[in-house]
Structure 1
């Protein structure tokens, strides 16, 4: 088995960056090829394509093979060594930045849980190869390309790690579900979305979602979404006087201007036109 090693660095360098991919590489290692024990000052993600070996952290030792990934955290004493008979062939990338730790945590990685297993069809090997290709081109656009690939890999890792983590209790699960619903409505209110579409997107039964949402917020999802839209419309009426009532209605996802005006009066006690005239000079409090 012939040894090979190749690495490509990011052509763009920033002194301080929220998230920055430093370099990427690939190697067919030799038998008993070892790195460490040592400490790195950046995150280093490996994906094993062939062979076997051991990865040791300050907490435990992992025996890893094809399809396994391991993430080295900065400041952690680690070592890893290829098997004497079937040495590793792997790809890797290094990244850092002020947001790197938070993203890694959101993905489910930690010094105590640094390993994930890729399933068939995983995007991780191809993403690592894509980062190398982007960096080899020498173009500054490779920096942005590498960030896209990194997000894809961390997104897949989040699905793998959280699927195998301990299921939360009912209370925490309900709160998380309601937060998902609120986030969905807050980001989609400007579109003609429906509660049915939201339930389908989140993968839950409408009756269940409606019940737990009202238990947590005191409002049904339909009422919450409508009040959210009216609240957003009030802001537009105050801050964008050049917009017509019809344009304001459309901007908050209500394409029927007459329906919008009726609902606005229901919640605010006056028409949108009267509200704009009266409140232009007043401080405003939110409905929600």
Structure 2
């Protein structure tokens, strides 16, 4: 299924023979290997990563890589090839677009919470593989399992706030713009983006000089202005459509921001 935002091209599984290798070669897409058993080495950009069961490595498009199974304890891995307009941003949010394109799940097994997420990550990969191989499998389910994989990696690694300030702010604004008609709260925005409320507040104040709550109110008000001028919806309909509890609170907020009541503002068209 082609979605453009995220596409799965193929996936597979292989139990490698001792010292089995591939490359050096490039790929035209992203390719992620999840190591199920054994050991091996991944070589990219003059770096060598020694990996084992519960680890994973990512190959990026047009990047020359080489990987080889251990001669005594060769690895078995599953892989998934994917791409799409959102693939890079998703990987970045998972911490896999930094200097180390690897996931050290084996080092997280002593942490109870992270260990559980590592196991769920690999279970999702097995489910993806089974669904992909099933002639009656669903392409939507395959994408869902891939998103689960990204989600568990993100939960294990944790997001690095310092590197993604602009990304978090953009994600927060987009969330508000897509959900302003609902009774969203600042905590809902922070949860959707994956950061705490205090950090979200600092992002808005530092970049937009307003709080997240004020941004929500201004966006609702601006949307209401447009609807008053370009639709024939009633004031009550516009109030509910823009996420206000009732027309009274809408009128009060609207006048505070524009200097007009909704009815008088509409007369300007």
Q: TM-score range by the shorter chain?
A: 0.7 to 0.9
Query: 1:168 — aligned with what?
Result: 162
Q: Structure 2: which 5+ runs fail to align?
A: 106-113
Match of 1:263 among 244, 247, 253: 253
Q: Which of structures 1 and 2 has the bigger CA Rg?
A: 1
Structure richer in helix, relative to its length: 2
SS at match of 2:260: coil
Distance of 2:66 and 2:191 partners within structure 1 = 45
Distance of 1:29 and 1:94 partners within structure 2 = 18
Query: 2:132 — aligned with what?
Result: 135
The Cα shift of 1:161 comes to 4.7
Query: 2:60 — aligned with what?
Result: 73
Distance of 1:99 and 1:211 partners within structure 2 = 26
Q: Structure 1: which 5+ runs fail to align?
A: 1-11, 280-288
User: What are the equivalent positions in structure 2 for 1:234-245 lying under 5 Å apart?
Assistant: 234-241=225-232, 243-245=233-235
CA deviation string 1:105-157 (max 9, x = no partner): 44333484221123423343222222222222224x63222222223323433
Query: 1:232 — aligned with what?
Result: 223
Q: What is the count of residue pairs matched by the alignment?
A: 257
- What's the TM-score, normalizing by structure 1? 0.74
Distance of 2:46 and 2:75 partners within structure 1 = 22
- What's the TM-score, normalizing by structure 2? 0.78
Distance of 1:17 and 1:211 partners within structure 2 = 33
The Cα shift of 1:191 comes to 1.9
Query: 1:248 — aligned with what?
Result: 238
CA RMSD of aligned residues (A): 3.3
Query: 2:108 — aligned with what?
Result: none
Query: 1:108 — aligned with what?
Result: 95
